[in-house]
Amino acid sequence: MTANAPSVRAFRIWSAVHTWTSLASMIFLLMLCLTGLPLVFHHELDHMLGYEAEVPEMPAGTPYVALDRVVEAARTTKPGEVVQFVSFDKDEPRTVLVGMARTLQAVPSDSFVRIDLRTAASLAEAPLGTGPVGFLLKLHTDMFLGLPGKLFLGAMGLLFVAAIVSGLVLYGPFMRKLDFGTVRRGRSTRIKWLDWHNLVGAATLAWALVVGATGAINTWADLMLALWQGGQLAEMTAPYRDVPRPIELASVDAAVATAQAAAPGTTPRLVAFPGTAFSSNNHYAVFVAGDTPLTARLLKPALIDAATGALTDMRAMPWYVQALLLSQPLHFGDYGGLPLKIVWALLDGATIVVLGSGLYLWLARKRSSVERSAAFEGGGRHASAGSAR
């Protein structure tokens, strides 16, 4: 009795952790799984539903126009708005996305113009974040509540991770007399679903941990970027703190070329314009990335003097931003081709089964304990008499 006491206590604690972390996050996890399922195929769905720009076919090797011309074309498309950044699409290198806003300091909104790099023509495209996929994405990332919604879902993600870890601890005691993969189909519905819960939970453990943990990390993206802005970026732009913004800006093409010359073998991913949140009043911030699958995800900002076009600083981003950038594809599963996306969807479906069966097991256990209590109260006197005999 005394030797077993700590293990019983530990078991009860882990059991309580597993039950309550799962129950507390259940509704939100089911929502995340259900909305995440179509989001795995967001490219395909956007294309199918007509929310993605049609890029005209042109002969291979058609040269690209200058970025300055692209920026000018964006300004013409949205008169009265200023350019905040130019974003290069890794999956669609023939176009760029130009982010616009009423003022340079405005929080980047959904005002974008997609420009064909070969013609500088503006491509017709539904505003980002609209349509069914946009709706699901907003629901999935912050439930239309902005940063508080994101952080809340991040907390749900952490509860999910705790539920997985506690489930792993409990798996041993419950399965030690069974072969892996055994489902006792001859027993009650509850035991059958307990076995399915354990089996599918064990099979999807690694994937669920990766997706749950990276999902939680992604919810901290805004905080991490704010930390970077207040830390490394502020340090890099400190010498220019009181220098007024130049009236004439250097060429965007020259800024990109300078950044690439400073980091050979890289390609531009984003150019933030002077005066915006990701730069200073006096700099273009050119974010470049490497050419291998791994380094292509790690951004390196180069600050280019917006008046002279000279490089003033270039550093690797801090580890927490790198971790965020690496975690994103592991959460979305969109780095692979269609086969990997289909498997991602299957694993998402399997996680829904684990969540649903867990809820069923909890409800069934509650029902059976209520029945046991009722039976005990009804036949208590008789049972007491029987045990006395």
Q: How far apart are CA 292 and CA 67, in angstroms?
A: 24
Tokens of 32: 């995340």
Which C-beta is closer to another protein: that of 177 or that of 389? Answer: 177
Please select the residue that binds another protein; options are 365, 371, 373, 376, rule is CB under 8 A. 365
322 touches another protein (CB under 8 A)? no
Q: x/- string (CB under 8 A) for another protein, residues 226-265?
A: ----------------------------------------
Min separation Cβ 41 and another protein, Å = 14
DSSP lists the bridge partners of residue 286 as: 271, 302
Quote the Cα angle for 364-368-372, to 5°: 170
Please select the residue that binds another protein; options are 96, 113, 199, 311, rule is CB under 8 A. 199
360 touches another protein (CB under 8 A)? yes
Please select the residue that binds another protein; options are 185, 381, 382, 389, rule is CB under 8 A. 185
- Torsions phi, psi for 188 (to 5 deg): -65, 165
Please select the residue that binds another protein; options are 28, 64, 152, 362, rule is CB under 8 A. 362
111 touches another protein (CB under 8 A)? no
CB 226 within 8 A of CB 283: no
Please select the residue that binds another protein; options are 27, 58, 226, 342, rule is CB under 8 A. 342
Q: 95-101 and 112-116 as β-strands: parallel, antiparallel, unpaired?
A: antiparallel
Using DSSP, state whether 177 is helix, strand or coil: coil
Number of other residues whose CB lies within 10 A of the CB of residue 246: 14
Which C-beta is closer to another protein: that of 248 or that of 377? Answer: 377
Quote the Cα angle for 360-191-180, to 5°: 115
Is the CA virtual torsion 106, 112, 115, 121 positive or negative?
negative
170 touches another protein (CB under 8 A)? yes
Q: How far apart are CA 198 and CA 167, in angstroms?
A: 8
364 touches another protein (CB under 8 A)? yes
Number of other residues whose CB lies within 10 A of the CB of residue 339: 8
CB 164 within 8 A of CB 81: no
Please select the residue that binds another protein; options are 89, 127, 147, 174, rule is CB under 8 A. 174
- Stretch touching another protein by CB under 8 A, among 44-52, 129-137, 281-289, 337-345: 337-345
Residues that bind another protein (CB under 8 A): 4, 6-8, 11-12, 14-15, 18-19, 22, 170-187, 190-191, 193-200, 202-207, 210, 293-294, 296, 329-330, 335-337, 339-340, 342-343, 346-347, 350, 357-365
